[in-house]
Each structure stands twice: as C-alpha cells, then as structure tokens.
Structure 1
C-alpha cells in the first residue's frame, strides 16, 4: 500500500527486453533505499513494482505484459522521469489516501489552466472508470494523491498547488499526454457491497 505522496523523482536509465516483457533499471535520485530489501514494493509513477537488487543508486524491476499494456510504462523510454514512493509502513503518516499501486487504466490530459498560483488540470478517463470518480473524492494520477474538484461525464478536474507541480512529473506533462490512474479503493468496495445488496 502507498499514500500517493511522492518521495522523490527518479529516472528510467535502462529498458531491457526479456522474454517478451521488460526489465527496468530505475535510478532513484534522492530516495533513500537503505531500508528497502529485495522483493519490497516501490510505486513508479503509480505502478507498484517489486524492487530487485536495490542499491544506493537505484533498483531493477521486472514489468509484465499486463502492466505494460495497462500503464504508461508500455510507452516508457530511457531517460524518462518517474514519480517514486516506497511502500507504506504502519507507523507512517497517511498524508494522501490509501493507494494500492494497481493502475486501473490510462487517462488523458485534456486541459491545463492557470488558477491563481495553482493550475487546474482536466482529464478524460475511460467510461468504465468515470463512475468511480466523485467531486471531493480522491484519485491517484501517476502515483500522486489528488482531490477531485469537479466531474462532468468522463472528464474531471483537479488543482495542483505549486509544490505538487515542482516535486512531481506534472512539471513535464502537457495536454494530450497519457497518465496512469487509480480510482479510490473505497469506491470499488462500495460498488461491490451495493451489488451484493441488490442481488440479495
């Protein structure tokens, strides 16, 4: 589990094809991996990956075809900057919301507008995911926990404060880009409970 609070920016420094899928070598910059053991989870732009051979410089991660097909990692290139977050510990602060790192699909950036010192970003999601997004609810975009300001059909808006713009990959995104999206876990559980009640 994760919180959607980005701890550092990293970089994909090598993409190695292996038997039909790929292995990534990720440089972690300022992220301290001294407490990360082989097999621990690290969210890479919102995608939960298993850290292999963690070192001072970074780690390796195997990425399956399923993950390549569902996330922006399928179009990743060497040199791409990524958001990083180590897995949540029980004693950690929960500054964002509960995030699993299991990306639900891709959203598209449809507009970026200045809103005082913040930016208002608009995204379009696949119609099958829009029902999980609610005004003032939580959503995770490229691993970043954000609050939904408005929803209109398959589009929704969030505000990015200057800090978020500076410490995440949003500073490199533009209209038309694809981003990883994970809907609020509670919304999925609520839907499941409602299904059981209507079937009873």
Structure 2
C-alpha cells in the first residue's frame, strides 16, 4: 500500500527481457535505502514491484507479462526517469490517498499549458475508467497522488504545482505522453457494494448504471 507521495526520481540502469518477461534495474541515490529489504514493495511509476536484489543504492525487480501488457513499464529504456515510492508504514503520514500500486489502465496527456507558476494538464482516461474519476476526487498518475480539478467525459484536468513538477517525472510530460492510471480504490469498492447480489452474477456484465440505481431505489 502507498500514499502517492513520490519519494525520489530514479533512473533505469537496465531493462533486460528474460523468457518473455522483464528484469528491471532501477538506481536512485536520493531514495532512503536504510529500511529497504529484499521482498519489499516499491512503487515504480505507480506499479507495485518487488525488490529481488538490492545492489547499492538501487533495486532489481522482475516484471511479469501481465504487468508489461497493462502498464507503461515495458516501454522503459536505459536512462529513463521513474517515480519511486516505498511501501506505506503504519506510522507514515497519509499525505496523498490510499494507493494500491495496481494500475487500472493507461491514460494519455491531451494538452499542457502554464497557469501562473503551476502547469495545467488535460488527460484522457480509457472510457471504462471515466465513471471512477470525479471532480475534486483523487487519482494516481504514474504513482503520483493528484486532485482532479475538472471532468469532461473521459477527459480530466490537473493543476500541478512547481514542487510536484520538480520532484516527479510529470515535468517531462507532453501532448501524447502515455501514463499509468490508478483510480481511487474506494470508488471501486463502493461500486461493488451498491451492486449487491448482482456483483456475484457472472452471467452478465455487472455495471453500476443510472437505470440500475433507479431500479434499486438509489435515485428518486
């Protein structure tokens, strides 16, 4: 479990294909490695990876085919920068929101423009994730916990302050950039709860729709 508050930006030291999956080596001198042990989880651009080796101020992780298919990790190259966050500890401040490190889908940066000292970004989410993105709600973009400023269909707007620009990989985003998205986990559970017994019905695709809410007394 993570908070979405990036602790350091690391760099890809190597990315080697092995038997169809990937062995990734990330170095990060700015990360505090004192409490990191083998088997610990480290969110890398929002993807929860397990440290299988800890050579110096770096870690090695094996990335499965499933993760390569569903995230941007497979596109990482030597020297690429990545957002890093160690797993949440019980005594840590929850400065962002609850982040699982399980990517829901890929988003695309539509536009970027300056707004005083901040930067405004418009991103487009996959259609199936749009219902989980709410005005002033939380979303995780490449592991960074962010607040949604506006929503327009599957597109949403983010206001990124200078500190976040300087201490994450967001400063390198441009129109067309592909990013990992994780929606607020609470919205996922809320949808399943509202579906009630229909959530267990495998004969049809259970979705939370306006007609379903009306039929079950949630709308008047």
Normalising TM by the smaller chain, what interval? Answer: over 0.9
Shift of 1:51: 0.8
Whole-angstrom CA distance in 2 between matches of 1:133 and 1:198: 23
Shift of 1:198: 6.5
Whole-angstrom CA distance in 1 between matches of 2:22 and 2:74: 9
Shift of 1:197: 6.5
Instruction: Map residues 97-116 of structure 1 onto 2, 5 A cutoff.
Output: 97-116=97-116
Counterpart secondary structure, 1:130: helix
Is 1:154 the counterpart of 2:154? The answer is: yes
Residue-pair matches, total: 200
Divergent runs of 4+, >2 A: 197-200
Q: Corresponding residue for 2:119?
A: 119
Which is greater in Rg? Answer: 2
Shift of 1:2: 0.3
Q: TM-score, normalised by structure 1?
A: 0.97
CA gap of 1:114–1:197, structure 2 versus 1, over 3 A, is: farther
Q: Corresponding residue for 2:93?
A: 93
Q: TM-score, normalised by structure 2?
A: 0.88
Q: Corresponding residue for 1:74?
A: 74
Whole-angstrom CA distance in 2 between matches of 1:197 and 1:16: 45
Q: Corresponding residue for 2:65?
A: 65
Q: Deviations over 1:45-89 (max 9, x none)?
A: 100000111243201000001101111112111111000000000
- Coordinate RMSD, CA, aligned: 1.3
Counterpart secondary structure, 1:196: helix
Structure 2 residue runs of 5 or longer lacking an equivalent are: 200-215
Moved more, 129-138 or 188-197: 188-197
